[in-house]
Amino acid sequence: MRHHCLLLLSLVLVSYAARRSESALGGWSPIKDVNDSHVAEIANYAVSEYDKRSGAKLTLVKVSKGETQVVAGTNYRLVLKVKNGSTTASYQATVLEKPWLHFRNLTSFKPLRS
């Protein structure tokens, strides 16, 4: 009887752990330190790549917040405060990075409503 209880408890714990990891897999996690130098590097890449593609002349002011998502690499979803001349606006940028391939791609850069 005791053996059956231990087996049942083990199955319940394994099932719970599997469900928790499934919900976390592919989910977004907040970036604890948006002032980290690597986050700043990703943000600067996003702004400069957007400028190249669009012909805009935006300047990064700061990273307001950010999240990461582990995929076949890492997605960074950042809220950026940028300047366009004398106007300041917020944008959401998404960058895919695969550091082992020295690869980055700006997948999204869109203005946020105030």
pTM of the model: 0.77
Contact 66, 76 (CB under 8 A): yes
**Residue 66: is its pLDDT beyond 60?**
yes
3-class secondary structure, 57:
coil
**Residue 49: is its pLDDT beyond 50?**
yes
Percent of the chain's residues with pLDDT above 70: 77
Starting at the edge strand that comes first in sequence, how are the strands of the sheet with 87-98 ordered? 28-30, 59-71, 73-84, 87-98, 103-111
Domains in the chain, ordered, with CATH? 28-111 (3.10.450.10)
| 21/64 Cα distance (integer angstroms) | 28
Q: What is the pLDDT of residue 97?
A: 98
The more confident residue out of 70 and 25 is 70
